[in-house]
Chains A and B, each alone.
Chain A
Amino acid sequence: MRDFAEIWSYLAETPLIWLSATLIAYLAGDYLAQRAGRAPLVNPVLVAVVLLAALLWVTDTSYATYFEGAQFVHFLLGPATVALAVPLWLNWPTVRRAVLPIVAALLAGSGMAVLSALAIGHAMGLSPELLATLAPKGTTAPVALGISQNLGGSPTLTAVLVILTGMIGAVVITPMMNMMGIRDWRARGFAVGVAAHGIGTARAFQVNPQAGAFAGIGMGLNAMLTALLAPWALGLFQ
């Protein structure tokens, strides 16, 4: 039998091991979330990220090496965004009747996300570069990276803030809506899609299919609006 270290050093350089690790970490997160009765705090993404970050740290693996394997999963973000057309199509009769609430909630939610994040960040002394990094944090990852880059922020840090925002939204949405006594699934879904993009949308799909469809619409519309809004809002605080 060959030395374990030798086999490891070979495997660690191939995409296979980190692709497998990503799927297994997610399955573990999903299993725990199921066991916890889909409790908001046991978010599958959160669990998977913590497990993988610990694994990278223990095995002294760089993020670049990890991403060689994980990029195959990451790539699917684009096709998945396109696939959101399916729930939109299925719910089109309901969506059509709610055009005005959708437009109004988009402006309110998207504007509030960008302006309040920048106002708080500015008040707490974040540098202009970090403000630019923070501004697009409510939009879906591929869009946020582009906006951050255009504004002079750090795209990779933006990616992390985007994921964190998604997890925060997914964790708070259900308790918050129940506390506020809001039972309209369209409103619940749409608001979390605008504020917490795909991770919020994934959470909405777990809770209610109609909420999921509206979350997908919120995420898509917010991506377009933030691209226009973020440069203007950043100008107010720099």
Chain B
Amino acid sequence: MIHALALILLCQLAGEALSRLFALPAPGPVLGMGLLFLLMLTVPRLGDFMRPTGEGILRHLSLLFVPAGVGVVGHLRQLGENGLALGVALVASTVLAIAAGVLTFVFVARLTGATGGDDA
């Protein structure tokens, strides 16, 4: 497990370094994800090895957002003053983005014959 964790951290570190080095728009952890994925694709044995640790971290992914969420306490006044506009913008844009994404996905999947979801 420590080996797997070390590899995850190394991928993140390499991602951060690449992101800074080439001033890429993608952040370190996202590049790290790509890096780890390529490693697992090249060495399938590595994939089976990483699986328990990776799934363990992701099982409680929601927990990791709690500290940033509590940051709301420092912005109550600002949120109060602009609450309506921010609230409407957040709710409407999220609903619209989900609708646009899902409809486009289904439409293009049908168009290109790329079906094959569990229940498609």
Contact = CB atoms under 8 A, between A and B. Distances in A.
Interface of A: 22-23, 25-26, 30, 43-45, 48-49, 52-53, 56-57, 63, 66-67, 70-71, 73-74, 76-90, 92, 94, 97-102, 104-114, 116-117, 120-121, 124-126, 130, 134, 137-138, 140-143, 146, 156-157, 159-169, 172-173, 176-177, 180, 182-188, 190-192, 194-196, 198-199, 201-203, 205, 208, 210, 212, 218, 220, 223-224, 227-228
A113 B99 CA distance: 10
A195 B101 CA distance: 8
Contact of A44 (B30, B62, B72, B100): B62
A97 to B, nearest CB: 5
Contact of B84 (A71, A94, A124, A163): A124
Interface of B: 5, 8-9, 11-12, 15, 25-30, 32-37, 40-41, 47, 50-51, 53-55, 57-58, 60-75, 78-79, 82, 84-86, 88-109, 112, 114-120
Contact of B70 (A52, A141, A168, A201): A52
B68 A84 contact: no
B94 A184 contact: no
For the complex, would chain B's binding face be called helix, strand, loop or mixed by DSSP majority?
helix
A53 to B, nearest CB: 5
**Lowest 9 CB-CB distances: which A-B pairs, in order?**
A109-B101, A86-B54, A191-B101, A70-B67, A227-B25, A113-B97, A81-B29, A124-B85, A117-B93
26 contacts: A43-B62, A49-B72, A63-B73, A63-B74, A77-B29, A82-B36, A86-B36, A86-B51, A86-B58, A97-B116, A98-B109, A101-B104, A109-B101, A109-B102, A141-B68, A146-B27, A157-B78, A176-B99, A180-B99, A182-B102, A183-B120, A184-B105, A186-B105, A191-B99, A202-B61, A224-B25
Given A121-B86, A160-B68, A208-B118, 8 more contacts: A44-B63, A53-B70, A79-B12, A101-B105, A112-B99, A173-B98, A184-B109, A184-B120
Given A86-B58, A168-B94, A67 B67 contact: yes
A71 B120 CA distance: 41
Given A70-B66, A101-B108, A196 B29 contact: no
Contact of A141 (B11, B65, B88, B100): B65
A120 B30 contact: no
Contacts of A208: 118
Contacts of A180: 99, 102
Contacts of A218: 101
A80 B104 contact: no
Nearest to A80: B57
B105 A105 contact: yes
A67 B68 CA distance: 9
A196 B70 contact: no
Nearest to A96: B114
Contacts of A70: 66-67, 70
A97 B114 contact: yes
A105 B96 CA distance: 12
A33 B12 CA distance: 32
Contacts of A199: 62, 65
